[in-house]
Structure 1
Amino acid sequence: MTVQRLGLGLLSLAIVSAIIFTAVSFLPGDFATAILGRSATPETVAAFQQKLGLDKPWPQRYVDWLGGALVGDFGDSFSSRLVSTVIGPRLANTLALAATTAVIAVPLAVFLGIVCARYRNKPVDRFLSSATLASISLPEFFIAYVLMLVLATKLHIFPSLSSIRPGMGLGEHLYRMALPIMTLLFVTLAHMMRNTRAALIGVMSRPYIEMARLKGEPEMRIVLRHALPNAIGPIASVIAINLAYLIAGVVVVEVVFVYPGIGQTMVDAVRNRDVPVVQACALIFSAAYIVLNLIADIISIVSNPRLLHPR
């Protein structure tokens, strides 16, 4: 079963890579002319196309690009720099932002989900459920601008722009990342908490939970010892989706706070028509979703051995 999931993950990544390359390659307009300008001579355009490999047939360009991508070589950007050099530091910044947010959001979401399931339909559950529902209903850019207005413009607690640079200390780095982290917490925490609550409530209706209650076990012990281990699969799936969002879905947040991550890099590449950088960023986003969902599937199988022997 695990080997089959790995094969499906690789197949999905191959299909996505072909879609990305095809979609970008068939965009209207000539990239060489767009970069060199309309005043460029046909000879100059032809030489530039040859330098970038744009004169080759589409299948050959795709095979060359995919072969290089498999070893981490995405070719040269249209700015005459290696794509890996362009996106490498920005990807590290995005991973730092995602990891910091995940370290806070995942334990807190699971804890709040357990609390809501334990005190179902009690005031604390109703308050947290209403608050998270309202949080999910608000777009991330609105939350970002509200936090920026209150905490940066009015109270002057945090900087409005998350400009970080190499050599910056960890404390200064985290201080400038505070507003993007808060925004992502509002977006991801609510979703993970509500799904944790739903998964636990679904498990707590099973007969073995009733048997544990009849034995007189404390309710919190029932939740932690009996319900939570059997709800790991659904919880892991929703956590994986939200972790993938932290890597691939932070484009809006990075643009709002001018955070130098891979989302901001992709927006700049689209604006400058830097096709190799756009392709590399899109492939990284897709790989993040596929790999994290594959990990969630494996966790589900390990936590529920019955999935190893489907009927």
Structure 2
Amino acid sequence: MSFVRLIIARLVASVLTLLLVSVVVFTGVQGLPGDATARILGREAPQEARDRLRAELNLDDPLVQRYVRWAGAALKGDFGTSFASRQPVTDYLAPRLVNTLALSGLALLFYIPLSILPAIAQAPRPDRALDRSITVLTVAILSAPEFLSATLMLFAFAVIWPIFPPMVQLTAGMGWPAYLHALTLPALTLGLLLATYGVRLLRESLLEIYRSDFVRMAEFKGLSDRRILWRHVLPNALIPWMNATALNIAFMIGGVVVVEKVFAFPGFGSALVSALQLRDLPVISAGVMIAAAIFILVNLLADIGALIANPRLRSRQ
């Protein structure tokens, strides 16, 4: 199968997956117990007002018809109005999503070297002092709760060494230097927490590739260790790392609530948690769909990256 046909097949599968997710999300949200009009107007609202609102929201229409209407509006970027803030969901979530994307992008810049370089240092000489030291450090970080690691980073770099602010305060008029300075500590914390998974996975992948026959053949041919690593070992070992990185990126978008709470960061994850607590159904639906779309997109990009990094995968399809 050609490279273009593989990409098209992955793209079609991604679109179908997103469509299935939209059906599940809409059905699940609509199936939550309780009356939506009571959540909007309050339980003490008169029945006439609630009936009028039900008619305005078309809540008495068949479920399929409501889904088609909701999906069509969502494709145009219209997710309705928030029950809690009384503002369009897009206007409510957009700045928080931008903040989280900026945080995730900066965290990814920390994540890549923090997950690749230690594994490269470990794999050629396993069970040596450096390998054991890095292993102990990564296991310690993995074993600690995320809020504890984030709090320690906050205490170290905002209290003991006051390099960064303890709380992220983003204003409309702040410049890029101040914006990046405010994001650096939570991004470094997030990148470090996620890099521990990447280090462990990439180390094991590198060790497995180093034991392969083609690597031994390259050694017999007299190739240098550096050439073997960068030309033969690392490209093959990066494939599972890319898949794990895709999951980590998706986690950065919707699952960084702990880091956002510790640093008081106005992000997408904390907004979604607040919507769940307030039972703000339009925000919940939009948030889950946005997170799912990003998750599917990064997995698609990971598949494309794996096909580019290892052409042999194309011949297996």
Q: Does 1:10 pair with 2:15?
A: yes
For the pair 1:99 / 2:110, whether they are aligned, the reply is no
Identify the range of structure 1 (128-137 vs 44-53) with the bigger mean alpha-carbon deviation. Answer: 44-53
Once residues 308 and 157 of structure 2 are traced to their aligned partners in structure 1, the CA distance between those partners, rounded to angstroms, is 44
How far is the alpha carbon of 1:291 from its aligned partner? 1.3
Q: Does 1:189 align with 2:195?
A: yes
Q: CA deviation at 1:237?
A: 1.1
* Contact 2:235/2:310 (8 A) holds in 1: no
- Of the structure 1 ranges 145-154 and 162-171, higher mean CA displacement relative to structure 2 is found in 145-154
1:221 aligns with 2:227: yes
Letter matched to residue 253 of structure 2: I
Kept in 2: contact 1:53–1:61 (CA 8 A): yes
Match of 2:34 in 1: 29
Structure 1 letter corresponding to 2:125: Y
Q: CA deviation at 1:303?
A: 2.8
Match of 2:301 in 1: 295
RMSD after superposition: 1.9
Distance (whole Å) between structure 2 residues aligned to residue 225 and residue 309 of structure 1: 20
2: CA distance between counterparts of 1:160 and 1:43?
50
Distance (whole Å) between structure 1 residues aligned to residue 186 and residue 17 of structure 2: 31
Question: Counterpart of 1:254?
Answer: 260
Distance 2:180 2:302 in 1: 29
Q: 1:174 corresponds to which residue?
A: 180
* Mapped partners of 2:209, 2:260: distance in 1: 38
How far did 1:51 drift? 3.0
> Residues of 2 paired with 1:143 and 1:125: CA distance?
22
Instruction: Count residues with an aligned counterpart.
Output: 311
In 2: Cα distance, 1:90 partner to 1:55 partner: 33
Question: TM-score of the superposition, structure 1-length normalised?
Answer: 0.92
Per the alignment, residue 19 of structure 1 pairs with 24
2:286 aligns with 280
* Cα deviation 1:194-225 (Å, max 9, x = unaligned): 21222222111122211221233222221112
1-side partners of 2:57 and 2:111: how far apart?
A: 43
| Residues in 2 aligned to 1:20 and 1:173: alpha-carbon distance in whole angstroms | 34
Q: Percent identity?
A: 39
Shift of 1:232: 3.0
Does the 8 Å CA contact 1:161/1:258 hold for their aligned counterparts?
yes
